[in-house]
Every structure is written in C-alpha cells, then in structure tokens.
Structure 1
Amino acid sequence: MPELFDTLIRGVTLLDGSGAEARAADVALRAGRIARIAMLEDGADAIDPGSAAHVVQGAGLVLAPGFIDVHTHDDTNVVRQPEMTPKLSQGVTTVIVGNCGISAAPVTLRGEPPDPMNLLGTSDAFCYPDFAAYAAAVQAARPAVNVAALVGHTALRSNHMDRLDRTATPAEIAAMRAQLQEALDHGAIGLSTGLAYANAFAATTDEVLALAEPLAHAGALYATHLRSEFADILEAMDEAFRIGRHARVPVVISHMKCAGLENWGRSGEVLDALERAQRWQPVGCDCYPYTASSSTLDLKQVTSDFDIMVTWSEPHPDMGGRLLADIAAEWDLGLEDAARRLQPAGAVYHCMEDADVDRILSHPATVVGSDGLPNDPLPHPRLWGAFPRVLGHYARDRELFPLTVAINKMTGLSAERFGLAGRGLVREGYWADLVLFDAATIRDAASFTDPMQPAEGIACVWVNGELSWQQRKPTGARAGRFLARTKPAGASAAPAQ
C-alpha cells in the first residue's frame, strides 16, 4: 500500500538551502513536515501522485526552503496584521523580530514610545510587559509566518530608566538583566542593541557588557545596530566584537553597510576587520540588497551629500513622499531646521554606493535581512522586495553569485546562525517551510515610488506544510507559530580551527 501524503510537489529543481547544486526531485509533505524526498536524477523512483491528497506540478520551477528574514521590525504586526502579506508574498516563511535594540516585549511604557521604538507603532501596540505574554500573543494570533524574537536593549532601558540620555546605574542594569533572563527562559534567541540611536547612544560599553552576560548560558546571541555605520565604523565593530568575546556568544552585525559619502569604498577594510575577528570568535552580518537605508528622521544623518526622502511626519503628514531638500527650500530653512520641524518623522537615506553593497552582500559571512518598516505609510521597497531582488537582480541578472549561494544566504545559513532547529533546509523530517518559484522571472516589483507591490515569479509558499500563498494571492491559511530558541545560535559562524 503506498504511503499517504498531504501534498506532493512533483518534478522540481531542488535547491535544498545548503549551497549544494540543484537536483531534480519529488518532495512529499505530511503533518507539517517533509516526509519524503525522491532524488530523480539519482535513479530514485518518482513518488506516486496517487499517494497524495494534493499534487503540485513543479516542472520548470525551483523548490527551496522558505526564506528566513533575519532582520525585521514586524514585532507588533505579526499580532495586529497576522496575514503578513509583505513577507509571505516574497517567499518569507520565518521572521526574526526585536532588532536594533527595539522590541515589543518586554515593554512597560510611560507615555508614547521613545524614538526609535515608535517604528513599531503607537503606545497601544505595546501591551506585553513580559516576554512570555508576547510569545503567547503570537501563538494566539496565528500569523502566516513563523516568528523568532530578540530582546531590545532600548526597550529594556525604557522600562527601567527615568531618562535615556545617560548610562544605566548598577541597579538599573540588574533590573534589565532580570527581564532579559525571563525572556531567555521563554525562548528569546538573544539580545539586540541599537547604539547609534540617541536613546541608546549614552549607554557605555560596560553597560552592554554586563547586560550580555546571561546570553551564553542560554545559547543565545548578540545582534547589534552598530554605534556608527559612518566614519567610526571600525571602532564600532571593535566594540561589538569585544561584547561578544566578553559574553562568549556569537555576534551578528545588523544591516552591515558603509554609510555616508566619506565612507564609500571602505567595504574592503570593513570586511577585513570582520574576517580578522572571525579567527577568534563567531561573527557574521546581515545585509539588505539596496543602496538606501530607512529609519526615523535623525538629525545626525541629515546632510546635503545625498537625497533624503521623508516617508512620514507626525506634525506635517502632507510632506510624506517628498525630498527633505525640497521641503527645506519651500520653508526657507536649512536642512537640519526643516528636519527638526518635521519630527517625529521617518526617512529614506540614499547613503550607500553599489560597489560596497555588492561586496558586503556577496561575502560568505552575510545573510539576508529586509529591515523593512511595516508601519511606515510609504515604506522602503525592501519591505516587499528584498528576497526576490537578491534572486532576480543580484543572482540572475548581475551574476553577483550563483543561485545556490543566494538561496543558502536566505535559508540554511540563516537558520544555523540564529539557532532555528529543523528549518532552513529541505531535508526529510524538517518542517515544510518551502517556496516554489520561477528562477527566470522572479523579481521585485516594489519601488521607492510604489513600494507595496508583491513580487513576481513566486508560484507557491508553504508554511509548516500549509499552502499559504499561490499565484500572487494568499490562500487564507495562517500556519505560522512562535519559535522559541531550541538550540545554541551561531554554529555556522564558528571561528576557523
């Protein structure tokens, strides 16, 4: 009697997420997992289509693990907008939230969220005083993608400090550590910092060293938006590496970049510094495939060296979508004064050059993260387009790296680095997070002027075995779950022996 499967995906070109070459295969799913793989070119018999309740013809298409977005700010959206269309539509099946020092939990606000926590929403979005409450809320919301979470340093500071423009006292650090430990006990995958932001910049290295100490025992990691991505980037990297060595944990440098005109062309020395650190400690980075960044409108980043587009402004909402320079000219103000009048606000900064992005994105230590801002009314196109852009623009059209390498940077390497057990590879027994796409047509449709556009070339997406996206439309299935840390993070970034 033939085996019974829920779904059979027939005749695909399989890229399994490991970086191995493509193979022709049939893949069968059962009870949310990959039940059987038949490698057809190795002489294995095709899986009987009569053995499956649903059969998908995959001839001419690539089957890969579902993409893992390692750098998101989807913390509150996975609960408030659980359909998660911007991510599901581009083949993302797992998001990692809590980046850049900002997280939805654990948070107890006194008034409105401080910058940059306001990127996650207004005060009503922060209703998780402890991490366990957030994990339970994600499970109850049944988002369309899986969710793993970091704990934000700025969030912890906001909970325990009367003002954020100073370093924490020993008592405040102890209180933050207690909250971090609770989160680790309930499955948080690590600690994140956003030391470049005004509300964390006053934190000394010693403050972060003390706070990071509980991470090693939990098998967690340290992810950081560096204290500077501009002229002082090498010093900021040294600080991050020191924190990782002290805490004995892997370090992930968030959205690695060479920002600012004076920094263009420095990616070689930046990556050299990363490689030197890798000799002694586990270190990696993530990168998004664009030359523009996006965040709150920050006076420290206001310059005439490159275009800055305002994406939202609380006091002047009609200025969203316009260049800061044009607004300043209209108001007869300097750039900084105009930016100050617009705040609180958001912006896209066209602050990088292509050669640096190419070099960082193609480095073996780099995985892919979108850094999309889902609450931005005019979001950076990376929110909807980052992963298909890597596959279409960078791997296929520009041949920056092979498709096998691109897939590994978005799946297997990401799962290993962040400790996501049973995900990131197409293996028998692994969870059936899968994406079926056309390698010849996949591309990002989102643009800076029209950013909320689903990708082209994505045929199907399965999350935990459930068909969740098909032919540019959601199926209505929401099969994601909260992913508590189950194995130590960072094995893939271990230092060379």
Structure 2
Amino acid sequence: MLIFKNALVVDGSGQSAFAGDVALDGERIVAVGVVPVQPDDTVVDLQGKVIAPGFIDSHTHDDGYLLAHRDMTPKVSQGITSVVTGNCGISLAPLVHPNVPQPLDLLGPPELFRFERFGDWLQALKAQPAAVNVIALVGHTTLRVGVMADHQREATHAERAQMRALLTEALDEGAFGISTGTFYPPARHASTQELLDVCQPLKGRGAVYATHLRDEADDIVPAMQEALTVGREADCRVVFSHHKLAGERNHGRSAETLAMIQQASATQPVCVDCHPYPATSTMLRLDRVRLASRTMITWSTACPEAKGRDFSDLQRQWGLDDEETLARLSPAGAIYFLMDQGDVDRIFQFPLTMVGSDGLPFDPHPHPRQWGTFTRVLRRMVRECGLLSLEEAIHRMTGLACEQYGLDRRGRLEPGWFADLVVFDPQRVSDRATFEQPMQVSQGVEQVWVNGRQVWNGHQATGALPGQVLRRREPKLQ
C-alpha cells in the first residue's frame, strides 16, 4: 500500500477536517483514519498538509485540449482530476466540419472536428487517455450545426427529430446529458419548444441539462424560467452555467436569482456552477463590449497583434467607432469585465454552487481562470476573505459536483472509492495566473493523483495519463 501519514484530511463531505492517514492500493482508497504501516508499505509523511479528493472542474471547454495536450497541466497543477466537457451548447462531437461557426471554434482548430459520432470521440479518449477523467456533455449547438445549413431560424420537426436521434445515441454512448447556449448566434433562433422537443431523450435517465442562458443581463429571469421549464418537462437536473449578472445595472440581482433557484430546488433538481472572477470570456460581441467596463482582446484572426490589448485602446488608436473596431478585429475573442465581485461572492456562498473554470484553453491570451480558478477559491474565498470554510470549499469542488452529476465512488475520501487525490499546503496554496500573465501554474499544490497514479509532483506534470471516461449513475428502477 501507499500510505499518506499525518495529513489534515478534508474528505469532501463538508464535515470537519481531522488529522489522519489515507491509504491507497492500486486505483482505490483502502483506508482512511489511523492506518498501521506494514514492512512493504510506502509511506509519505504529509506533515499536516491537506489531503482531499481531487477537484472536479464542473464547467470546461477542454473537449479538444484533452486530445491535443494530454498532460492537462493547466488543470492538474491546480488540483483538478476530472473535467466536465461540452458546455455552453458546444461539444467537439458529433460533428465533422471544415469551418465551424463561432463559438464552436473556441474548442480548438478545425482538424479536431473529426468525429461523426459522440462515441467516436469518447473512444479516442479511451485509446489515448489524458491525465484527468472526463464527464462528457453533448452540445445542442453542435447538433444544430450538424443537421441545419441555416442556423438563423427555428429547427423544423424533421431537424428536431434528427437532433433527438443524435442525442439519444450520445446518451447511449456515455454522455451525461446535454448543454445549450441559446445566447450564441448558431442557437439563438432555437425556440423553447425546440429545446423541449430535442431534450425528450433525457427523460428517465438521471441526465443533466446544463445551460448558458439565453440572457444573463436584463432578461435573466425569463431566461431562467425557460431553463427550469425544460428541466421539468425533460425530467432532468438543470445546471445554471457560470451563473452571473452582466452589466452594471444588473449588479446585486444575484439575491433575486438565487432565491429563484432555491425555490425551484424544492420541486426539481437544480444547481449552479461559477468561477471566482468578476470577468468572463468568450467570442468578441458588441453587446458584451457595450455592457462591460473593460474589454480585453484574447485573440484576433485579422489582427493577431491585438492579443492582450484593450478594445477601447484599439478603438482610439484606429479612430473607429465600436462597430468598425469589432469588424476590424473579428473573428476574435475577448475578456469582459462586466460582473460585480459582490454578486460573485454571494453566488459562491449559495449551497448549490459548484466550482467551474469555464476556461478557453486554446486562446493565445486566455482568461486566468483556465489556470487559477480552484486555487483562487482556496486563497481568496477561504484563506483571505473567510467567505467559505475550507471544508465547504472542498465540498463544492468534490462531493457536491459528484452528487449533482451522478458519479459513483468519487468526490469523497472513503474506503473503496477511487483514488483521485490532491495534497496542498493550506497556508501557501494560491493562484498565480493574472489577466496580464494568465498562463502560470498555481503554487502550494504539492501532489495530484488520478485513479491511484500521480499526475502532478508540485512542479510539473509527471507524464502519467490515467484519466478515464466516466459514466453516469443509472437511476434505479422503481
């Protein structure tokens, strides 16, 4: 056995930490508590450092990155051992397309879009695993792009039937559910009825409906009501993706939206994911530029030199109005400073909030959340501000996410459960990624283990690639 001795054990349940040991044998935890040492055991003395379940990134766009950068350094360096992919309506599969529309291009270069079936992509991950486990969603926008030549209209009954068939196939092959992104152009014209029709295969599967809402600004309440309606009709869990209130006039409204979610949770399964930054990032859009107090360009095909520059600075330099500046930069990506930190903090204190980075790993100048989300929570929200206890923060990153996504034997330190583990120094753990220098590994994360194999040694990825494609827990027959 491998025994971690003298640890501060935070087991993922939300219960109080305790001093103890954790023992592994192969890919499983075999003992937690006081573990006697046998002559052939390997012992690691943690000297009071925290040992916890590996973190689950509840909102990623790592679909293509898992194949292109299998060591997953941005994630394992901050303690992440599992990622939820296919969010915001965009998944890498099922789609073969030489020139995908925005925002699908956020998932990586065109050559990655080569999987006709969702299961083909999952098989590729199984054949060449990454360092982390994968919890896969299929994107409604991806289905739309695959079956519709014209996205600027509602889908016909025949097209909805095609999308239902593709969703059924993806669920059978291992998808945990579907995500939507009606905020984005390729899905903007999808009606509520289209969503209801396409999502019918979710019924009875214990599946997830994760949604980037149609609107996260002035009309957030009707957008949330639409999502809750889909969840009820499809008999599935609703995940409000990267829950936020965009634009200064909406700052403070998280009290209203969280009350809605709390009320809904009494009658249907619902939860939230969120990252700890007051800025978001996606494709360059004029409506977001006009809402934001600041917009930083993350990439531009037409003007690559604009990377890292502010939209307003470029506009002044070029002597253009905002529409002309957008046209000169597009296609492009951007970071938008349009949220209030008070809303972010309130959302994080909500008991149904999971932690999700929402990073865009292929951006040349990415949002720092791709590299620093989880360690920023531990530094700012736990150690510096006391918004969450250490135990509660770890629960949001581990046990809560497993409960919401229906994962068996992960997210807790329990005998017989999978050995996804992180070891960190609670006094030193910190994000180092900034908006100016976003691609920096965190500090204080000393060891990360996935399925009983070490993938991070405190300085670099080890090269081990033990990640698995996970399956959702099937609902019990009544």
TM-score, structure 2 length as denominator? 0.98
Which runs of structure 2 are paired with 1:53-132 in the superposition (5 Å)? 54-109=42-97, 111-132=98-119
Letter in 2 for 1:172: E
Letter in 1 for 2:247: G
Question: Does the CA contact (< 8 Å) of 2:90 and 2:103 recur in 1?
Answer: yes
- Residue in 2 that maps onto 1:223: 210
Corresponding position: 1:385 with 2:372: yes
Match of 1:27 among 18, 22, 25: 22
Take 1:139 and 1:166, find their aligned partners in 2: how far apart are those partners?
37
Question: Does the CA contact (< 8 Å) of 1:389 and 1:443 recur in 2?
Answer: yes
SS in 2 for 1:462: strand
Which runs of structure 2 are paired with 1:13-412 in the superposition (5 Å)? 13-37=8-32, 39-40=33-34, 46-48=35-37, 50-52=39-41, 54-109=42-97, 111-303=98-290, 305-412=292-399
Shift of 1:488: 4.6
Shift of 1:23: 1.1
Kindly provide the CA deviation profile for residues 232-270 of structure 1, in whole angstroms up to 9, marking residues without a partner as x. Answer: 001100000000011111100000001111111111011
Kindly provide the CA deviation profile for residues 430-464 of structure 1, in whole angstroms up to 9, marking residues without a partner as x. Answer: 10000000001100010011111111111100000
Letter in 2 for 1:302: V
Take 2:164 and 2:299, find their aligned partners in 1: how far apart are those partners?
35
Take 1:479 and 1:59, find their aligned partners in 2: how far apart are those partners?
27
Question: Does the CA contact (< 8 Å) of 2:209 and 2:239 recur in 1?
Answer: yes
Question: Does the CA contact (< 8 Å) of 2:291 and 2:338 recur in 1?
Answer: no
Take 1:395 and 1:63, find their aligned partners in 2: how far apart are those partners?
16
Shift of 1:421: 1.1
Shift of 1:485: 2.2
Question: Does the CA contact (< 8 Å) of 1:106 and 1:156 recur in 2?
Answer: yes
Letter in 2 for 1:85: T
Shift of 1:481: 1.2
Question: Does the CA contact (< 8 Å) of 1:421 and 1:487 recur in 2?
Answer: no
Change over 3 Å in CA distance of 1:49–1:307 after alignment to 2:
farther
Gaps of 5+ in 2: none
SS in 2 for 1:207: helix
Letter in 1 for 2:10: L
Change over 3 Å in CA distance of 1:269–1:156 after alignment to 2:
same
Gaps of 5+ in 1: 41-45, 490-497
Kindly provide the CA deviation profile for residues 367-415 of structure 1, in whole angstroms up to 9, marking residues without a partner as x. Answer: 0000011000001000000001111111111000101000000000001
Change over 3 Å in CA distance of 1:307–1:367 after alignment to 2:
same
Match of 1:12 among 4, 7, 14: 7
Question: Does the CA contact (< 8 Å) of 1:11 and 1:25 recur in 2?
Answer: yes
Change over 3 Å in CA distance of 1:162–1:305 after alignment to 2:
closer
Which runs of structure 2 are paired with 1:401-440 in the superposition (5 Å)? 401-440=388-427
Take 1:200 and 1:295, find their aligned partners in 2: how far apart are those partners?
15
Kindly provide the CA deviation profile for residues 154-177 of structure 1, in whole angstroms up to 9, marking residues without a partner as x. Answer: 000000001111110000000011
My pick for the range that moved more, 10-19 or 275-284, is 275-284
Shift of 1:340: 2.0
Question: Does the CA contact (< 8 Å) of 1:149 and 1:188 recur in 2?
Answer: yes
Question: Does the CA contact (< 8 Å) of 2:248 and 2:291 recur in 1?
Answer: no
TM-score, structure 1 length as denominator? 0.94
Letter in 2 for 1:338: T
Take 1:368 and 1:315, find their aligned partners in 2: how far apart are those partners?
34
Take 1:176 and 1:299, find their aligned partners in 2: how far apart are those partners?
30
Shift of 1:49: 5.5
Take 1:122 and 1:397, find their aligned partners in 2: how far apart are those partners?
39
Question: Does the CA contact (< 8 Å) of 1:99 and 1:152 recur in 2?
Answer: yes
Percent of residue pairs identical = 47
Question: Does the CA contact (< 8 Å) of 2:204 and 2:475 recur in 1?
Answer: no
Take 2:440 and 2:322, find their aligned partners in 1: how far apart are those partners?
31
Shift of 1:122: 2.3
Count of matched residue pairs: 476
Match of 2:434 among 447, 458, 471: 447
My pick for the range that moved more, 320-329 or 479-488, is 479-488
Take 1:288 and 1:25, find their aligned partners in 2: how far apart are those partners?
31
Could you say what the CA RMSD is over the residues aligned between the two structures, in angstroms?
Answer: 1.2
Shift of 1:305: 4.8
Question: Does the CA contact (< 8 Å) of 1:302 and 1:336 recur in 2?
Answer: no
Change over 3 Å in CA distance of 1:480–1:340 after alignment to 2:
same
Question: Does the CA contact (< 8 Å) of 2:8 and 2:18 recur in 1?
Answer: yes
Take 1:74 and 1:304, find their aligned partners in 2: how far apart are those partners?
27
Shift of 1:304: 6.7
Letter in 1 for 2:44: V
